[in-house]
Amino acid sequence: MATSKPAIVKSEERPAPVRPEPRRKEPGSAMNFFDKVTGTWQNFSHFLSDVRAETRKVVTPSRKEVQATTTVVIVAVFIFGLYFFLVDWIFGRGLHALLARLGGVRP
């Protein structure tokens, strides 16, 4: 039996509990395979319970909310489209003028 270090609790000395050494597992043994399978299954079942808990938190938006967000998206798309059209047109005109001045393009 292994000797244990005394633990001091309330100024009394008691021997610390002796923990048994874990069994050594041989590589490739059936217990290793069983442990892997049960560990994988526990991880998978924990994952599924997390998915179910998160799914319960999902709230379906109302028709009014969907219409409002759709309107915002459509307006934003048109604003960005207009912005990029103007920027492209300005850079195009500027590049065309620069190339015409350098003699690369005829006006």
Instruction: Give a yes or no: residue 75 inside a domain.
Output: yes
**What total number of domains does the chain contain?**
2
Instruction: Give a yes or no: residue 21 inside a domain.
Output: no
Supply the range of the domain harboring residue 47. Answer: 29-58
User: For residue 7, what pLDDT is reported?
Assistant: 52
| Secondary structure string (H, E, C) spanning 54-96 | HHHCCCCCCHHHHHHHHHHHHHHHHHHHHHHHHHHHHHHHHHH
User: For residue 65, what pLDDT is reported?
Assistant: 97
* The model scores a pTM over 0.75: no
Instruction: Give a yes or no: residue 15 inside a domain.
Output: no
Binning pLDDT at 50, 70 and 90, where does residue 10 land?
low
Instruction: Give a yes or no: residue 94 inside a domain.
Output: yes
